[in-house]
Structure 1
C-alpha cells in the first residue's frame, strides 16, 4: 500500500485542526448572536415600554391638573354652591374646544353623583355616576384616576379623571370630571409598532387589558385567564420594569414592560420570537460561508507556508516568555472573575509563595492607603488604571511592600477582557527612606540641642529658685504656697519639653489619627524659639482649628524642618520667621493647577522668611534627596525631601516661592476631616476625687515610692510600697484579696512591670493594674495588652493623674461601692 506523503499529512492535520475550531466557533457564534439579539430585544422592548409609560403618565398628569383647576375655579365653585349649573356649560365647552378631542365628556357632578353640567355631549346630563370609584374618591377629598370601564353614555371604553369641588368652608358639594377616551391610548400604542409582529399593550391594576391595537381585546381580556401569561402578569402587576418570554395562544413571544406608577397600570411591548431570531439565522448562513472560505485559505496557507509562518512566531513567543520569566518586576494577569490566571517567578518571590499556590487565588489588594478591595475593583471595571502600594506578610512573617499598577486590558471589541498588574518590590527602598527620615530627625535634634539645653536650664533655675524661696518662707503659708505652685508649673514645662523631644525622635511612625495641627505648631515654635538667634523674630498667625488625618510625629517633623531651614537662611542678618495656619476651600480650578490635591476643605500652612532666598537655578532640585546648598558638615540634604514625602503621604501638596535677597515662602495644603474633637484636658472635671482601698505601689526608685505613698495617702488610700518587685510579688501572693489595685513602674531591675503584671494576674485575674513609665512606645503598649494592664500613666505623675485614673479603674471593677 502506498504511504501518505508528509505534505498530505500536514494538509490533513491542518484541515482537522481548523475544521473543529470552525465548527465550534460557528456554533458558539450562533448561540452568542442569538443570545445577543434576545438581550437587545429585551432591552429595546423595555426602553420603549418605559417611554410609553412616561408619555402616558405625562398625559394623565395633565388631565389631573385640568380637573383640579376646574374644581378650584371660583365661578364653578359659586355656581355649584348655588345650584346654577347652566352657568358652567359654556366654560366647559370653551375648555373642551381648546384642549382637544380626546374627551367623551367634560362635566360637573353634584354631591349625589349626577351629571349636572356638560361641555362635550349634553346627552350625558342626568347620568348618575355615584358608584364609580373616581367619584367615591372625590367624596373623600382625593383627585383620582378611575379604573377603565365602558361608558354609560356611549358604551365605549373610557377613563374617568375626577377632582372634588368644595364650598368656601371646605364642604364637599360636587366634582369636576374629565371622561377620557381610551382610544387615545390605543392610538399611541398603534404609533409605536415594533417590527412586523410587535406591538404595545397596557393592563390595569386588575390585570385587565385596557389598551391594545386590536380593540376587541380592550376591557375583555383578563391576563389571569390566559394560559402561559402567569409569570409576565405577576411581574407587570408588581409594577416591575424588565422583560419576559411567554407563550400567548401558541406563539412564543418576548415582551418588555414598565409601570405607569401613578395608576398601578403597566405598559408592555411584545414581539414574536421568530421575528427576533431572523437575523440570527441570517448570521448562521453568513458564518457558514465565511467558515468555508476561511477553511480553504487556511488549507492553502498550511500547505505552502507552514514552516515560513511558524518559525518566526515561535521565536517571538519564546523570547517574550523568557522576558516575562526573567523580569525583575512582578507580572500578574487577573481574570474578570477576580482570580489570578498567571504570575511570573518575580511575583512568587516577592510574596513568598509558589506559583501553583497563587494561580486561582484572589489577588493581593491590601494597600498602605487602606482602600477597600471593592473600591479598587470598581475603579478597574470603569476602565481606569489603579496605582498604589500593596503590602502583606510572607509565610515567615516578614513584611513586604510592592509599588503596583493595575491596568484593564481591552479586547478587540473594546470590552475589558482581563487585568494586568505590574509591580516592583520597594521594601528595601521604604526601609532606607525610614532610616533617612530618622537620620534627618536626629540632625534636627542636634540643631536644637542648644535651645533645648537653654530651656532646661531656665526650668531648673525656676525649680531651684522657688524651692529656696519656699524653704525660706515656711512661716508664711501664702508665700510658700505661691512658690510651690511655681515649682509645679516649672515641672510641667519640663514634662512638656521632654514629651515634645520624645515625639519628634520617635523611631517608628504611628498610625494616622485625627489631630489638630495648631497644637503641634505652637509646641514646635516654643521648642525652636530658644535655638534661633535673638535677631530672628517669630510671628505666628494660627486661625485654624480644623482636624487632619496624620501622624503627629510627621507633622512635627514638617514644621521643624521648614522653620530650621528658615532660621538658617536668616542666620547672618536676622529677619522675620512668619508661620500662618488658616483654612481654605479648594475648587476644581485650583486643584488642576496643583497636581495631587483634590477639591474640598483644606488647611493651609505657610512658612516664610526674609532671608537670602533660593537661587533660580537650584529651585527645581530642592526636594531631591541629599541635595543641599549648605557647606559640607552643615546639612545632609534630607530635610525638604522628607517634608515633600510626608506631605504627599497626607494627600497634600507643597509649593515654594522665593526671590533672592528677599526671602522664601513654603505653602502646604492638607485635606481636613470632619469628626467630633475628643475631650480636651481643659474640659475634664476640675475637682480631684478621693477614694479608699489598699494600693500596692512598686518602683525601684525609693523617692518615687515615698512621694507616691504620700500622694495616695492624701487621696484617702492605704498604701504598701516596695522598691523590689519580687518582695511586692511575695506580699501580694500572701494576701491577694487585701489589695484593691496595683501601681507599678515598667522599667525595674530583677523584673519588669510587664512581667510583674503577668504574675499578679496568675494569682488574681481581676486585680486592676496601672503601669507607669517615662517613655511609652507601641511595643510597650502591645506587651501591656498581653498582660491585661488596665491603664497607662506617663511619668512624671501628678496628683490629678493618679486620682482620676484610680477612680476610673476602681469604678470599673466595682471596688467602690
Structure 2
C-alpha cells in the first residue's frame, strides 16, 4: 500500500534516458547519497535492481523492473537483455513491434534464453516464435494455458496444431505474411482449438525476428478475445432488440394514427351502406351488393383491429370460428393474386369450429399462402390447402410437445417450391429472420403466424425437403361438441326510441350519418360538428337532451372533456363516447368518469342501438 514518488527515482531515470539502468549492490549510505528515492527499496531487502524503459511508438509509458534480494544478481552485461525483453513486452502491448527492437530481441534470445523464458512465463498474453515453415520454436506458459497443452506437446510441431481446420490455418498464414511484407507487421483475428475441442477467439500480432531475413522466423503475440467477442455479440444482440423494440413502438404509434383516420372512413362506409340497405327494400340485387360492401367493410374493420393488436394497442376477442369459411375467403383472395403457373388444390371437408379470432386465422392462411407463393414463383407449382380433424395422443412430434392431448383441427398448407435448408429450420419463426432479398421481406410473416397459433393454444409442425417442397401443419384446439352445437344468436332488430340525443363529431360526414342513423331508429337528434357547438346548444337548455353521444378525438375539446363539462352542468346525464382509436380513454377510465358506454368506430347500427338503450335504461340492460 505504500506509494513512492517517481521524480528522481531510477524508474524516472530509465524513462527519461530511455536506457536500461543497473543499481548494483551498494552500501545504504552510498544509495542515500546517489539515489535517495531508492532507499526504501533497499531497506525492503532488495540488493540488486535492473530497470529498462517500456517504449511504444516513440513514447515511454513505464519501466520493466527486475529486483533480487541476492547481491550482484544482475550485472552490466544483463542490461541489453532487460532492454530487449522490455522492447518485446512493449511491442506486444502496443501491438506493433518496431523492427530495430526485433533485431535486439533476436540477439537477446541467442544470448540469454533463460532470461527471456522467465519473462515469457509471467507475460499476461501469449508470446511465441515460429520458424519460416511455421514450426513452433518457442511458446510461453500463457499459450500453453490457452490451448490446454504442455510446452512439450507444442514445441517442434507445426502451428497447425493450434487451429481447428486447414481453412483457418491457411487463412492466418496468407493474411499475416501478406501484411508483414507490406508493412512489417501483421494482425489477424482467428480461432484456436483447445486440447479438449473448445474453440477460442484469438487476436494474433506478428513481426519478423529479422526484417532483412525472413528465414530467421517470426515472433507473435496471442490475446484470448473470446470473452470480448461474446460481450460484443451480446451487446449487438441487445442493440438489435432495442432497435426492434423501437421499430415496434413506431409501428404502434403509426398504427394508432392510421386506425383513427381509417376507422372514421370505415364508419362512413358502413353507416351509409346500412342506410342504403334500409332504402333498398324491394331491390334484392342492390341489397345483395350492399351486403357485400358491408361484409368487406367489416373485414377491413377487423384488419384495423388486427393491426392494433399486433402493435399491442388492442386486445383480440375470441369467439366461435368456422375455419373452413375463413380459409375459403383467404384462398379466394390468394387466387386473385397468384400467377397462373401456381395451381391451388383444397380439401375443406370438415366444418369443425375453434374458439379464436377469425381475422387472425385469416392472417395465418394469408401469410403461409404468401410464403408458398414466394417459394414457387420462379418455377410454378401446386399450393395444397386442407383441413382435417386429428387426435393428438401422448406421442407426438417434439414441436407439438407442449400441446395437451385432445382433438385438434389441422390446417395444412403445402407447396412444391424450393424447400428449406435444414441448417435454418430452427430459425424459421425468429422475428426479422428472412431468406428473401433485401426489400422483399421483413422476416415477420412466420413470426406472426407462430405468435397467433401460440395465442390460440395451438402448435406448428414443419416438414421440408430442399428441391421438393414444404408443408406447414397448424394444429388448433377444436371447440367442445357442446359449445360448437350451440345455435347462433339470432340478430335482434335494432331497438329504437323517442328520446332526444345530442350527437357530436368533428367529421361532417359522420355527424350527418349519425343523425340519419339515429333518426331511422325514431330518435330526435341534434347533430353538432364540434365540441364547442355542442356545448353552446346544451348550455342553452340542459334539459333538452336525454343522451350525449360524442366522438373522442376532436379539436378544441376532446370528447371526454366535453362529457365531463356537460355532466357538471347536468349531473346524471347519460353519455356514450365513440372512438376510432385513443390512448387517452379505455373502458375502465370511461366507467370511472361516469360514461355509460364506450363504442369503437366503425360501429354497426345495431351495436349503437343496443348501446343507446343500455345507456338510457341501465336497470333494464
Greater CA radius of gyration, 1 or 2?
Answer: 1
TM-score by length of 2: 0.49
TM-score by length of 1: 0.38
Higher relative contact order (CA 8 A, sep 6+): 2
